[in-house]
Structure 1
């Protein structure tokens, strides 16, 4: 049953194509950004551990998804650096966990709970370690350091690995990352126009993100 749930969640995340990576200094902005993502049609949302009160934000996003008829949305927690953070995130209801590096304990805990585990890597050696740890997805971070060419080189060696480049991905360059072999992409700082976000221009933000999802080929 657990393996089936993990497969279902990976199928849903892969169809999402784009994962908003929400990293904000206050919980209110993070929750607002997540609400925009829900309204725009995102099927997966990552909240970073660095958000103050991230677990309460996670619960609030889950409640909003239920109320808006989006109970199928996957909500995960990223920037996980140790097993205790992973455990707390899973207890709060995270569907997937993301670490910027290779943290085998994260995968073990996630899989035991039927959640997905995404480990970060940049070099071939790190990709091998992430695969050995059982990662469902390997996060290439920071993606901008090597760009699509770096991802394409990794994909040529690790053809059966699902990659998610994150860090510097934008609407303008995400097509290049998909062409290089990305299964999904993580988009953080380039997700929203900063001025519109500060002004809480909801309609414009929803429209822009919906357009980005369409350009990503979200299913």
Structure 2
């Protein structure tokens, strides 16, 4: 598949920020805060209330952000997300119908997998990137072991990624990392401290950049 802006931006920056919050309130403010920290690729999960409405409004209000839909579980949801404005799709598991939709509309698909068999199957089915999940359980060493025999597969660890461990995953062979709960800190949101999200985004971007340059 020809590279899209989303594909190129994920590869260039090496970071996808995940927004998964219990209410639709302030989704735009959260995205703006992350962007202020240098994060340009943002995924909003489909189990976030108002996710589709956010995608519809954010494409015009946040033109410099590459927006994706995450936790996509079936082809119908994938199509709805793309029609709402999503520029890439992210799944927690290997879902071939979602890949079919992604290919049909020419958008990147970050397909979730855990075992070597799942990872290879996702790649051979046409995944743009393979999301290694849950990274918090598997760890950087697991990613390194997978990368050894399968260096051609662009791996994106997800789950428990922070500024403290992101560099380890990059050095283990990750082309990018996905960060969610650490990045969009729930306590900071409750207190309305969006600057804290900006600072976390900035720190994560710096860590990944340095790890790539090392």
Give me the TM-score of the superposition, normalised by structure 2. Answer: 0.92
Q: CA–CA distance in 2 between the matches of 1:14 and 1:53?
A: 28
Q: Is the 8 A contact 2:166 2:204 kept in 1?
A: no
Q: CA–CA distance in 2 between the matches of 1:77 and 1:17?
A: 17
Structure 1 SS opposite 2:148: helix
Structure 1 residue 8 displacement after superposition? 4.1
Q: CA–CA distance in 2 between the matches of 1:176 and 1:106?
A: 30
The one-character-per-residue Cα deviations of 1:159-210 (angstroms, maximum 9, x if unpaired) are 0100110001111000000011110000011113433221112334323322
Structure 1 SS opposite 2:199: helix
Aligned match of 1:65: 62
1:37 aligns with 2:34: yes
Structure 1 residue 7 displacement after superposition? 4.4
Structure 2 portions without partners, runs of 5+: none
Q: Is the 8 A contact 1:144 1:168 kept in 2?
A: yes
Structure 1 SS opposite 2:109: strand
Aligned match of 1:76: 68
Aligned match of 2:116: 124
Aligned match of 2:168: 176
Structure 1 residue 76 displacement after superposition? 0.4
Count residues in correspondence: 211
Structure 1 portions without partners, runs of 5+: none
1:19 aligns with 2:20: no
Alignment of 1:1-219 (within 5 A): 3-4=1-2, 6-66=3-63, 70=64, 73-217=65-209
The one-character-per-residue Cα deviations of 1:16-68 (angstroms, maximum 9, x if unpaired) are 211111111101143332121122221200000101121101122222213xx
Task: Write out the 4+ residue segments of structure 1 that deviate beyond 3 Å after TM superposition.
Answer: none
Give me the TM-score of the superposition, normalised by structure 1. Answer: 0.90
Structure 1 residue 100 displacement after superposition? 0.6
